[in-house]
Every structure is written in C-alpha cells, then in structure tokens.
A and B are shown apart, each in its own frame.
Chain A
Amino acid sequence: MATKLPKVPIVIVGMGWVGGIIAAELTKAGHSVVGLERGKSRNTQDYFHVHDELRYASRYELMQDLSKETVTFRNSDKQRALPMRSYGSFLLGDGLGGAGVHWNGQYYRFLPYDFEIRSKTIERYGAKKIPEGMAIRDWGITYDQLEPYYVKFEQMAGIGGEPTTQPNVGKMSKPFPVGPMKKTPAMKLFEDSAKKLGYHPYVIPSANLTELYKNPDGIERAACQYCGYCERFGCEYGAKSDPVVTVLPVAQKTGKLDLRTHSNVTEILHDGKRAMGVRYVNTPTGEEYIQPADIVILSSYLFSNVRLLLMSKLGKPYDPKTDSGAVGRNYAYQVNGASTNVMYEDREFNMAMGAGALGSSLDDFNGDNFDHADLKFLHGANIRFTQTGLRPIQSQPAPMGTAKWGAEFKKQTLHYANRVLTVAAQGSSMPYRHHYLDLDPEYKDALGQPLIRLTFDFEDQDRELVTYIAGKTKEIADGMGGTKTEIHDSIKQYNIVPYQSTHNTGGTIMGSDPKTSVVNNYLQMWDAENVFICGASAFSHNSGFNPTATVGALAYRAAEGIAKYIAKPGSLV
C-alpha cells in the first residue's frame, strides 16, 4: 500500500536544469516546493577523480542506468521496436542536475525563424515547399516574446560570449554578462577562412565560465580551466554552469525546497481534468508514496514526460494513423553527419586541451538565412569548429580508409592524433507525422511498467541537408591551410548505436491549438490546467543548435506562468 503524504502546493518531477530553474524561481517567490528526483544527490566533491575517460566517457558513470530503464527503438512502424540495451545515440541524465551536469555548455538562442517556421516558410516559398508528412508548426510564441527569458538564463548561468551578435541571429536586449572563451589557433584558422568567404563566424557562447562571475542570485563561481574533460564529465571547479552549482543551492537556501532524491515518479494522479498529485517509489526500499499537490510540474526530460502522461492516461495520445491526439507527436532530433576534416602534415595542435563549449561557429547556412528556393530541404545547420578536448579512447583521427586495427592503424592514428581539425555541422531536425513516441507493448522497466517506444528515421530532407551543408564545411575547411581535406557528406538510416547527440525534442509540444499541441506557451497543459510540462519536449521541431538555451528560457517563462496561476488559477492564455 502506498503511503499518502500531506498535501503540498507544488511538486516537481525531475531535478535537472528545468526542475532546478523552476524550483529556484518559485521558492524565491516564497512558494513551497517538493522536488522529486529518481537519481542520487550530487556535488562537486564527487568529481575528485573525474578526469577518467574510461569511467565517465566510455562507461557512462553519470548517466541513467539502462538496466533499470531504457527506451525501445525502431526506424518505422513496420519494425518491431527493440530496447536500446547499451548506450547509444543519446545519453540520458540521471541524478541531481540531470544531464546538465555532463553537458558541454554550448549556448545558442534559437533563431526568430524557428518560432514561426511554418508561416515564414509559406510566406517566402509558398505552402507547397513543405513536403507531405512534414509536421512543422509555429510554436505559439515568438522570439521577441521569449527574449527576456533568454536574458534570465544568461545572467543566472554566466554565459560568456562576444559583446555583439551577428546580423543573422536574433537580437539581444542585453549583452552576455561575461566575455567570450579564449581563442585557440585552430579557432582562428576556422574564423579566418570563414570570413574570407564572406561568412559571419563568432566564438560559441559558453556556459563554461570565462571569468570569475557572481550572478544575480549571489552565486560566485570560478573560471573554466580548459581541462579537456567536460562533455560527459562533471566539473570539479564548479566552472561549468550546471543546476547543482547555480539554481539548486539558491532554491535550497530559501528553506522552501523539500528535495527528495531516489524518488522515481511512476504516475500522475488525476481526475481527467486536474492532477491531484503524483505516485512515486522510494528506490532503495521500493516503498510507494502518494504526494498530493495543487500543481504538478513535469521536468523529467521528454522520454519521462511523455511516458508519465501516457502511463497515467492524462492527455490524448497521438495516433499517427489518423494524425489525431497530441501526446507523443513531433519527435525530432539533431541531424549531424555533415563535416570535413582538415589534416596538417606540418603542424600539431594542442587537441587535448579544450572545454565543452570552446569553439567558433556560424549561422550563414542555418534557419532561413539562405535561399532554399532551389533546395530540397528546409532549415539548415550551425557550422562549427569545436575544441572540446580530444581524449584517446574516444577518438583516433586518421585519414579515410585507414585500417581499423594493426600496424597501419597504430602508425596513422599516432601520427594524426593532433593533426586533424574537424569542421562539422549541427543540423536541424524537422518533425514528421510518422516520427513519434508511445508506450512499448512488450518491454518493461525494473518496476514492470512499459518502456517508452521511439519510432524515428532520417528522411530525404535530412540527407539533402547533410549533402548541401557538407559542401559548405568543405569550402571553409579548404581555406584552413591544411595539407588535405576529407568530406563526409552523406547519411543513411538513423542508427541508435553510435553516439550522435542528446538533443531529443518533442512529444508534448507547445502551440496555440489544443488539438495538436499538449501545452500552451506557458507550458501549461491544455487538458489539465494545474499541470506544467517543461523541457525540450515542448519543441515542435529542433533547430540547428544545441537546445538548452531555449529549454532554459522556456523554464523561466513557465515559472512565471506558474506563479501567475497560483495567484489566479485558470488557463493562462
């Protein structure tokens, strides 16, 4: 029997960036919040021996334990979905801070175009430009509406970037609070080549602090040391902005956050119109608790957000056959795969040095910043050179066609270890009617509940995008003074085996139509006004950028909406 706990005003499910931001904002405003996190607690002391590639990068020390729960996957509904038994295309967060602990900290606002993608596409190219089955939509919010919330995230996290932005991205009402990362010789090569071509390169805005910074909450943190162990690792300096060193201590200091780790939420309790609270399992003992609450906030990443709604039978499940219902629709990802390597026989670079967000990039071929009239795809990619710290297990650069093992392999990979620079693209991902999330009919988690099932593949749109954008990466790479360049310009099927990106989006998308979206532009659920569903699950498509700037901005907006809702219950729109 589940133990019923006393009712609380607000319960948050999942304590990553999104849960942390909302907890901080609401507790600062004087509201009491219960934060439920299925994983363990964390602090920077845990990273004493974090510079261990095997443990953190190859064995996924900080990520979700797949033996307890995973996702199932198939390329189309003609296949049987099978579990992702090991990692993997994406790496799921777990424990206090979630994936925010082991992210890179590359920070990009989305383009104004992203939020009105459908109307702007039709306006410029006509409705026929959108291919059959592609489910792009306006988001129900504009860039200008979201802009102040980006500023909030930037001030809190101490984002470092150039003082002015390029003309082809959204305007900023306030500059970044600190300056950009240091520029390496390789970044200069990239920028110089891009500038010669007339493009607009800039140093990637960074959540790895570029200098000692005190944020508006009074949190003071040290600068990044360019240690080269960033993506997949926690930062022992607290220099990488993550929830554990920024928003969570602020929430805790108010005394209003009741943070419960090892608390795995399994159900949203509701009467069809309102949520009454949540059910959760205390994982060490297996005991079940019911936590009644006035407001339920889901911030458990898209897979759990969608899974909890479907398991709890809250909201209308998406049906791809009839294109009706909303929960689970518009799954999108990130289309990588366009890149060009530059090899240098005459010089070596300090590739072991780096930081998660260190690099330069440009948006001349992102969004609708270039003419798509004669192209067979929409949107585009951020083209970048990053220097995140090359570690030897994960990367052995060598020319194409080099043997995978043996004397030649050894010789070439040692020779090229510090002689290859990669110009790569982070491509946008458009939603399709047949890309979606639902519950797996067969596979179960450790508690016996259904796994979430992912049905997804790359489309012609993605293949065309990769080929075109790869040509641009080559153009830039060719001007970087190397001995030789090698282009990668094609992708085939989506394959869940190699790591690609943990930028999964969609499933509980925002919009202005309750029939096709799950939440309004405050991330308030249409079908249950006291439920807020937050995170990248609200994205209707994914841009050619990392998502967390927009995830964070939307979390600030949701927090504001929740406070409004507390003052005056009802629909916020």
Chain B
Amino acid sequence: MADSKKEPPHQPRDESRRKFLKYSGTAIGGVVVGGVIGGLIGANGKNGKTEETPPAQPDTGKPAQAAERDFNQALMFFNQDQFLAAEAAAERIYPKDDSGPGAKELGVAFFIDHQMASSYGLNGREYMSPPFYKSEATQGYQLSFKRRELIALGLDALNTYSNDKLQKAFPDLAPEDQDKVLGDFEKDAVNLKGVPASTFFSYFLNLTIEGVYADPLYGGNKNMGGWRMRNFPGNQMSYTNDIEKDEFVKMEPLSLSDHLEIG
C-alpha cells in the first residue's frame, strides 16, 4: 500500500464504493490518523480479505432497483386523511411534469410522515422550555406547539377550510383550487381557531423539498428521482478527477445504501 503513493487517486465513476476504497486506499496509503477509509482497509486486511469479497447484490454498477414491495411505505404518524392531504399538498408544491416525477411519486408524504414520527417531529433537539411569548419576526419560532402537532393541525385545517369554502376535502379539489387554498394558508388568510397558517405552510414547504431531495434512505426521493431531475450525483466519494473539468459531468447518482458495505 505504502509504496504506491505516487499513483493519482482514481475512481471509476460507475464502480462500487468497495472498488473505490481499494483504489483510494492505495492512493492515500500511509495515512497515520486513519479516516474511515484507512480504517476499512485495515479491517479488510485483518480479516485476511485481500481480494474483494463478492458484494451482497450483483455489482451491476447501477444502484439497486426498487424492490417489488416497499415495506417502508406505511404510516408511522398521520391518520389517513392527514396522509392524503399531505400527499395532495406536496404534489402541488412539487408537481409531476415533463422533467419527471412529482412529490407523490417520490414518496414525499411518507417522508413527512416518518419525519413527524422521529425526534424532529417532537423538536427533540430544540429548546422547547417555557415561557412562550409573542415574538418579533427576527426572533424566530416561539410557539409551544411541537412540529408534528403543527403539521397535523395544519393538514386537518386544509380539509376543514376546503370543506367550508368549496364543499370538498382538500385532496378532492381540482388542482387550481388546491393551489388557491394553499395560497390562502401561505398568506395567512386562513383563520381557523388560531392555526398559524403561514407557519404551517412554510414548515410543510420545507418538508416537501426535503422529501424530494433527501437521501432515499428517509422514504422520499424514491429511486433518487429527485436527484436525477437536477443531475445531482448524490453522494460520490471523490471528485478529484472531475473538479477541474470544463464540461458538465453527468453521473448516475449514488445513495447511502450504495455505500453500505461494512469492512
């Protein structure tokens, strides 16, 4: 390992991380304070695996195809109405078009549901101690409502408001009417028992964008469809050989699941 320092780091674009590790291992040999890379190579060595062990899945150079059933697509937090409202609203925020899938196809509503069930939905790492006072806009969120309470309340309110105004639940409205309702929430034109409509809307908007572009690990961005539309390569291990290039380099994206090979 140590004598091949001169070899430039080399990463064949379509190859698995395991292969990349092998290459970069030679390239960055001699690392004293080992990174993960050093550590993994070491671990391989310890097991006497100098040759590559066959990966669990055939290494086609492409990310794994979607399994026939996605067991992740089930609900952790929303009730059915909330889920349907979330799915419809997210689709209006990020609609399907010529360039590719919309939020619904990307699984964004499942992403939001799962996030609401996580510590993020419970503001687990945020300061939620009282007292709660009315704030200036420059001071940020100051409601005692946890994120999941706000989102559930807002989704319920989408249905109530749609029913009151247009006699249909939000998911059953025509897309233009859905946009109008969402616009009313965005502009705080909705007054439903003190639901902070614009706060709900901006949280929901952020969650939708996250669901489109977060690693597919979290249930959205299905099959990396969000990334593909933007030509975002996901998480490659190295761009050393491409960073100076004049032309735009398109690559098949990689997700964290493509990197799940533990020494």
Contact = CB atoms under 8 A, between A and B. Distances in A.
B94 A405 contact: yes
A85 interface: yes
A86 B92 contact: no
A496 interface: yes
B136 A79 contact: yes
Contacts of A236: 35-37
B227 interface: yes
B35 A238 contact: yes
Given A73-B139, A74-B139, A85-B142, A52 B32 contact: no
Contacts of A442: 131
B16 to A, nearest CB: 15
Nearest to B261: A48
Nearest to B229: A414
Nearest to B248: A348
Contacts of B84: none
A184 B141 CA distance: 40
Given A58-B210, A219-B33, A249-B33, A227 B92 contact: no
A220 B30 contact: yes
B4 to A, nearest CB: 12
A238 B213 contact: no
Interface stretch (B49-57, B74-82, B120-128, B161-169): B120-128
Contact of B125 (A67, A414, A493): A67
A478 to B, nearest CB: 21
A98 interface: no
A53 B236 contact: no
B99 interface: yes
Contacts of B127: 66-67, 69-70, 83-86
Interface residues of A, number: 84
Max count, chain B CB within 10 A of own CB: residue among A65, A82, A414, A496: A82
B65 interface: no
A325 to B, nearest CB: 26
A485 to B, nearest CB: 21
Given A67-B125, A406-B93, A86 B231 contact: no
Given A49-B256, A53-B214, A220-B31, A226 B240 contact: yes
A238 B31 contact: yes
Interface stretch (A104-112, A162-170, A296-304, A349-357): A349-357
Interface string A495-511: 11100000000000000
A379 interface: no
B235 A67 contact: no
Interface in A224-273: 224-229, 235-239, 245-246, 249
Interface of A is mostly: loop
Interface residues of B, number: 78
A85 to B, nearest CB: 5
Contacts of A237: 28, 35-37
A54 B262 CA distance: 22
A46 B128 CA distance: 28
A284 interface: no
A353 B241 CA distance: 10
A60 B127 CA distance: 14
A347 B248 contact: yes
A349 B231 CA distance: 11
A449 interface: no
A220 B32 contact: yes
Contacts of A83: 127, 129
A48 B36 CA distance: 6
B35 A239 contact: yes
A349 B248 contact: yes
A52 B235 CA distance: 8
Contacts of A350: 239, 242-243, 245, 248-249
B19 interface: no
Given A82-B133, A222-B28, A237-B28, A51 B235 contact: yes
A66 to B, nearest CB: 5
A396 B248 CA distance: 18
Contact of A392 (B24, B129, B227): B227
A53 B213 contact: yes
A86 B138 contact: no
Interface of A: 44-45, 47-49, 51-54, 58-60, 65-67, 69-70, 73-75, 79-80, 82-86, 88, 182-185, 212, 218-229, 235-239, 245-246, 249, 347-350, 352-354, 358, 391-393, 396, 404-407, 409-411, 413-414, 417-418, 442-444, 493-497
> What 5 pairs between A and B have smallest CB-CB spacing?
A51-B235, A222-B28, A225-B238, A353-B239, A392-B213
Given A85-B123, A222-B35, A353-B242, 11 more contacts: A52-B256, A54-B210, A86-B123, A86-B140, A212-B30, A219-B33, A222-B28, A229-B235, A348-B231, A350-B239, A414-B230
